[in-house]
Structure 1
Amino acid sequence: MRRALGLILATSLATAAHAEPLADLAAAQKATIEAWGKVPFSQQNVTFVSESSNGYGVYKARGSNVFKPGEPIITYGEPIGYGWKQLPDDLYEMHLMADLDIVDTSGEVLWSKQGYMDTRLVSHKQNMEFKFDMTLTVDGLSAGKYKLHYTLHDMTSGKTSSFDEEFELASGG
């Protein structure tokens, strides 16, 4: 009997010791979501990559911004400060769209596409780790220096953010 009571007491203490860190973690997650709501919608870790990423933070940075004609130009980035839409069944939706302009050194827009990217994530969590890959193959441009101008739209909050990536198109193949 004493042994059974000792086992019950030990189990109760272990459960209580385990519950406290879990409660601390839940409180920290709630505070993080509140802080996230104050972060301006923007992006971080934007870089050219050598291939499509395999997940958030899982990418191979490209060592150069010089591309051959017809070579895919892949941009990796991590949006931050976006909102979530509450859905039925305890689900949340994150929805981003992006517009893209190719701009020459004089500032002239040579090509433009609204809705170039349209991506959604539906989850039981308010995910804060989300990434995008945008792939572009440029044909018909002369060798030279250009800029990719991206405008991100958080379709949930209505906020926008933009960023540029300079690249060079090499001559020949």
Structure 2
Amino acid sequence: MRTLAAVCLIALLCAGPATAEDFWSGSKSSLKAAAAAGTQALGEYEAAERAASEAWERLPFAARRAMFVSRKAALYGDYERRPSNVFAPGEPLMSYVEPVGFGYRKAGDTYTFEGTIDFAIKKRSGEVLGEQKAFQSYSLSTHARAREFFLNLTLSLSGAPPGDYVLVFTLNDTVRRASAEVEQPFTIQGEAAQTP
């Protein structure tokens, strides 16, 4: 056993010093090719980012996604769509909304987007039952033009009678001075009949 170990050690020592080429089982030129491919891919990614920014500037301010959810989202895209728009009396209305096409205010090396949110509760006929301007606001400053932005919006309608309604959020982009409406029909179910 000692002889075998000694033979292996001698073979390794005679092979000479190991180089990066030996370690990666390749050559320096293949490592350079991999680095060049990475640089090319990064350049392609940055070009796609520039194209996405240009397309964003042409987008109207709107909501790409708006839905009732079962819980608040922790991250962009982390929504759990509510299986129904029927709510029990007093149950909070939780919405997940993804605005798109909002504007940025540039200051130095930062970009800021900001806005306010109004809401209204209407009957299905359009009659406004209640509303509030600027019930919530948002503002975010970053070193990049962040586009993955979402809103968790929650309303409590305690005391509202059973019936069919429409929740209307008006998103107000204070940078572009634009607004977008999001309508979400919902129903408050009647109290379960009690048996004597």
TM-score when scaled to structure 1?
0.89
Distance 1:18 1:52 in 2: 38
Match for residue 119 of structure 2 among 90, 95, 100: 100
- 1:4-153 matches, within 5 Å, as 9=29, 11-88=31-108, 90-153=109-172
Higher helix share: 2
| TM-align CA RMSD | 2.1
Q: Percent identity?
A: 34
CA contact (8 A) 2:90 2:160 kept: no
- Say how many residue pairs are matched: 170
Distance 1:13 1:62 in 2: 49
Distance 1:136 1:64 in 2: 16
Superposed displacement of residue 51, structure 1: 0.9
Structure 1 runs not aligned, ≥5 long: none
CA displacement 1:16-50 (0-9 Å, x = unmatched): 22211111111110111001110111112211001
SS state of the match for residue 68, structure 2? Answer: strand
SS state of the match for residue 113, structure 1? Answer: strand
Superposed displacement of residue 12, structure 1: 4.1
Distance 2:122 2:191 in 1: 21
Structure 2 runs not aligned, ≥5 long: 1-18, 21-25
SS state of the match for residue 63, structure 2? Answer: strand
Higher strand share: 1
TM-score when scaled to structure 2?
0.79
